[in-house]
């Protein structure tokens, strides 16, 4: 009988510890993330049109027009191909007018 009671108590304690470790003791609803999202910087994307010359590549065009926001190269290239979808299947032709994305930072006023 003692063994049965000990086994039940052991599994009960193990279950409580497992739930505590996986879900936590503090409810997740206590962390309000709305305030954090309101104060994040927003990125505004505008574009400029340029005429290409011989030897231009997508990377060289993106590098020659830097932005004040740190954006990874794959994100820049994705935005470049959104603005110039015809360049996904063809090479850049000299004398062609293409658009290059420029990123601006918009700062929010986070005061309450």
Asked whether the predicted pLDDT for residue 8 surpasses 90, the reply is yes
pLDDT tens digits, 67-101: 777 888 888 889 999 999 988 888 888 999 999 99
Report pLDDT for 36: 52
pLDDT at position 26 is: 56
Contact by Cβ (8 Å): 110, 39: yes
Confidence of residue 29 (pLDDT cuts 50, 70, 90): low
42-51 and 97-106 strand pairing: antiparallel
DSSP-derived secondary structure for 8-22: HHHHHHHHHHHHHHH
Q: pLDDT by residue (tens digit) across 43-67?
A: 778 889 999 999 888 888 888 887 7
Pick 78 or 111 by higher pLDDT.
78
């Amino acid at each position: 009988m003692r063994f049965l009671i000990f086994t039940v108590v052991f599994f009960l304690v193990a279950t409580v510890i497992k739930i505590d470790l996986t879900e936590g003791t503090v409810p997740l609803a206590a962390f309000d993330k709305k305030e954090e999202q309101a104060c994040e910087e927003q990125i505004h994307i505008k574009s400029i049109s340029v005429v290409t010359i011989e030897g231009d590549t997508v990377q060289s065009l993106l590098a020659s027009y830097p932005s004040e926001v740190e954006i990874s190269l794959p994100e820049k290239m994705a935005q470049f191909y959104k603005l110039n979808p015809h360049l996904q299947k063809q090479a850049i032709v000299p004398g062609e007018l293409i658009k290059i994305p420029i990123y601006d930072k918009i700062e929010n006023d986070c005061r309450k």
